[in-house]
Every structure is written in structure tokens, then in C-alpha cells.
Amino acid sequence: DDSVLYPHVVILHDCVIGKRAVIQAGAVIGGDGFGFAQDGGQWIKIPQIGRVVIGDDVEVGANTTIDRGALDDTVIGNGVKLDNQIQVAHNVVIGEHSAMAGCVGIAGSRKIGRRCTVGGAGMIIGHLELADDVHVSAGTMVTKNLPRSGQYTSIFPLEAHDEWLRN
């Protein structure tokens, strides 16, 4: 009800879109995630049988991709705001009223709490959890669970390569 899908949005089978959602041009909802396993030196595709479930009052930016779950659903909670060119991998759960800036990448099977924010180009590796009210600074790579609310930053200031190697 009252959702708006702009040109060139792709929504694949079994996806659920909530009320008053806005999905900007070029977004892909429910494509297969990166589901492969090694078998005898070759990559075998693992069927992605979950869905994408998007809550009410969600906004998805242009050219953002939200992969379907491998086994469970990928879930975008009510009131979530996703900027342009964000990658949400399979089985990710984003809690209600969280917001993410452009070029954020979230690897698979990640649970993000309610009211969290991630600055532009933040990266979150898979199989970890962020508590409610976690705020990740732009350019930060999250490599461990963040079990307490607060602001987290792991960006290293730009410097000449030789100086960086010394540090």
C-alpha cells in the first residue's frame, strides 16, 4: 500500500515489500547472494531459498542491492533508510529505524540492531552482530561483534605509503 517503485527496479520472486516503501531507480531486491562452496577444486552454486522482507516506511536508494537469504530471510526492518549503491548480502537483518549512507557494504549473515547508523563506505564483515544504537563512522571496517551501543571508528588517516608502512 502506497509504496513507490521508480524505473528499472527489479523485485524477484517471493519478496515482500511493506507499506509506504520508496525504492529508487535501479535497485535490485531478491537477487541471489554470493552462495558458492568449493567441491573438488571448483565452485558449486548453493541455492538461495530465502526471501527479502522489507518493512513499512523503508527507503532504498538507487542501485542498491539486497540479496535474498540463503536459508533464512534477509530482513530490512520498519523505517530503515538505505542510501544509494549499498550492498546488503544474504541473511542480513537490519533493525528498525537504522540508516546507512552511500556505498556501505554488508557481508552475509549479519545482524544489525535498531537505530544503528553506518557512514558512507563503511564495511561490515559477515556472521557478526551490532547491538542497538551502534554508530559506525564513514570508511570504517567492522571486523568484530559490537555488543554495546556507542560510536565506533577504525579509519586510519591518509599518509604517504612509506610512512604508513613504518606505522
Q: Is 90 a catalytic residue?
A: yes
Q: One of 8, 13, 90, 97 is an active-site residue; which one?
A: 90
Q: Look-up: residue for cell 527507503?
A: 59
Q: Which of 107, 6, 14, 118 is nearest to 61 (CA)?
A: 6
Cβ atoms of residues 74 and 53 within 8 Å: yes
Q: Which three cell numbers stand for residue 12?
A: 524477484
b vs e for 97-124, b when ≥16 Cβ sit within 10 Å of the residue's Cβ?
A: bbbbbbbbbbbbbbbbbbbbbbbbbbbb
Instruction: Just list the catalytic residues.
Output: 90
